[in-house]
Amino acid sequence: MTGTDELATIGEPIWEAILDHPMVRRLGAGTLDEEPFRYWVRQDYRYLIDYARVFAHGAATAPTLDRMGTFAELLDETINTEMDLHRAYAAEFGISEAELEATEPSPTTRAYTDFLVRTAATGTFGDLVAALLPCMWGFNVTGKRLAQRGRPDDERYAEWIDTYAGEEFTELTEWCKECMDDVWARTGERERDRYRDLFRTSARFEYRFWDAAWRQEEWDV
């Protein structure tokens, strides 16, 4: 059994909980109200900034030139391409670039990104990959399973599904899974226990990120 085969047993119940969440169900059906999704788009923009920082740490700690190069490419693409695409997508919901920049990270966004960056900065390369993997894997699973249910009429939501179910994002997910399998094969049970814990925590945050958008979570004080 590969590392990702084992991690799938941790992730699968969480992916199913995400797919069963009312926000994700309505996104897939094209019936989701705009406000929670506008919230999600704004928070995801804040998330991407620290997501890029994780790629930077990956480039710095990768054990091979090949892995280093891929993480460097992901850093460049996130900062110089994906964030531009995110701004354009946000505009489809009437969200300006100034509004994106002014968005304060929610409690869940702050907790999730702090967890990712701290893991990347203080842990091993394997720790980084284990913490990073649920973001890619979870979105890929969600996109593919929503696509199987049928494309929604709302083109903006259909575009979201197309992106994360698509070939390019699937290839990125498979690359990250291969990284995890390679690291897993080279480590002992003590490290694998840590990878399981990090993976589980990130996957839980993935669920909380959707739920925070659904509730439009704010700071209490």
Which amino acid, residue 221?
V
Is 206 tagged catalytic? yes
Residues in the chain: 221
Give the list of residues 6+ apart from residue 62 with CB closer than 8 angstroms, or none: 68, 70, 71, 125
Query: Exposed, middle or buried, 220 (CB in 10 Å: 0-12/13-18/19+)?
Result: exposed
Q: Catalytic residue among 174, 206, 217, 218, which?
A: 206
Rounded to whole angstroms, the Cα distance separating 26 from 13 reads: 20
CB 19 within 8 A of CB 146: yes
Q: Catalytic residue among 16, 135, 167, 218, which?
A: 135
Catalytic positions: 135, 206
